[in-house]
Chains A and B, each alone.
Chain A
Amino acid sequence: MLQGAADVAKRLLAGEVGAGARAIRWLDDRDPRGAEVLAAIYPQTGRAQVVGVTGPPGAGKSTLTDILVAEWRKRGQRVGVIAVDPSSPFTGGAILGDRVRMSRHALDPGVFIRSLGTRGQAGGLSRSTQDACLIFDAMGYDIVLVETVGVGQDEIDVVNLAHTTIIVAVPGLGDEIQAVKAGLMEAGDIFVVNKADRDGYDATHRQMELMLHLRAQAVADLRWDVPLLRAAAAKGEGAEAIVDAIAAHRSFLDQEGDFANRSRLRAREQVLSLVRDALAARALAMSGDAILQQVEMRRLDPYAAADRILSALSEKSAAA
Chain B
Amino acid sequence: MTTFKRPLRVLLAKLGMDTHTVGVTVIGHALREAGMEVIFTGLKQTPEMVCAAAVQEDVDVVGISTLSAGHTRSLPKLARLLREAGAGDKLLVAGGVIPEEDKPILEQAGVDRIFTMGSDTRDIVAYLESWWAARLAEDAA
Complex: A244 Cα to B103 Cα, angstroms? 53
Contact with A along B26-51 (1 / 0, CB 8 A): 00110111111111111001001100
**Considering only CB atoms, which chain A residue lies closest to B34 in the complex?**
A93
Judge whether B87 is part of the interface by a CB distance below 8 angstroms: yes
Report the contact-size class of chain B (Cβ under 8 Å from the partner): 35 or more
Residues of A contacting B2 in the complex (Cβ-Cβ under 8 angstroms): 89-92, 120
Residues of A contacting B58 in the complex (Cβ-Cβ under 8 angstroms): 18, 21-22, 24-25
Residues of A contacting B39 in the complex (Cβ-Cβ under 8 angstroms): 96-97, 99, 115
Contact (Cβ within 8 A) B1 A1? no
Complex: A92 Cα to B35 Cα, angstroms? 5
Stretch from A47-55, A100-108, A178-186, A229-237 forming part of the interface with B: A100-108
Contact (Cβ within 8 A) A17 B37? no
Residues of A contacting B89 in the complex (Cβ-Cβ under 8 angstroms): 1
Give residues 84-119 of B contacting A (CB, 8 Å).
85-87, 89
Tally the A-B contacts, defined by beta carbons under 8 Å. 103
Residues of A contacting B29 in the complex (Cβ-Cβ under 8 angstroms): 95
Stretch from B4-12, B62-70, B72-80 forming part of the interface with A: B4-12
* A contacts with B, residue count (CB < 8 A): 35
Given contacts A18-B85, A91-B32, A115-B57, contact A99 B41 (CB under 8 A): yes
Residues of A contacting B5 in the complex (Cβ-Cβ under 8 angstroms): 29-30
Contact (Cβ within 8 A) B48 A117? no
Interface centre among A21, A87, A91, A95 (most CB of B within 10 A): A95
Judge whether B124 is part of the interface by a CB distance below 8 angstroms: no
**Considering only CB atoms, which chain B residue lies closest to A100 in the complex?**
B42
Residues of A contacting B9 in the complex (Cβ-Cβ under 8 angstroms): 25
Judge whether B134 is part of the interface by a CB distance below 8 angstroms: no
Complex: A101 Cα to B42 Cα, angstroms? 8
Contact (Cβ within 8 A) A96 B52? no
Complex: A18 Cα to B28 Cα, angstroms? 24
Complex: A71 Cα to B53 Cα, angstroms? 21
Judge whether B55 is part of the interface by a CB distance below 8 angstroms: yes
**Considering only CB atoms, which chain A residue lies closest to B6 in the complex?**
A29
Shortest Cβ distance from residue B29 to the other chain A in the assembled complex, whole angstroms: 7
Shortest Cβ distance from residue A267 to the other chain B in the assembled complex, whole angstroms: 24
Nearest 3 CB-CB pairs, A to B? A93-B32, A100-B42, A119-B4
Task: Please name 11 further chain A to chain B contacts, defined as beta carbons within 8 Å, in addition to the given A95-B38, A100-B42, sorted by A numbering.
Answer: A21-B57, A31-B6, A90-B1, A90-B2, A91-B35, A92-B4, A93-B37, A94-B32, A94-B37, A99-B39, A112-B56
Give 15 CB contacts A-B under 8 Å.
Answer: A18-B55, A29-B6, A31-B6, A87-B4, A90-B1, A91-B2, A95-B32, A95-B40, A99-B39, A106-B49, A106-B53, A107-B48, A107-B52, A115-B39, A115-B57
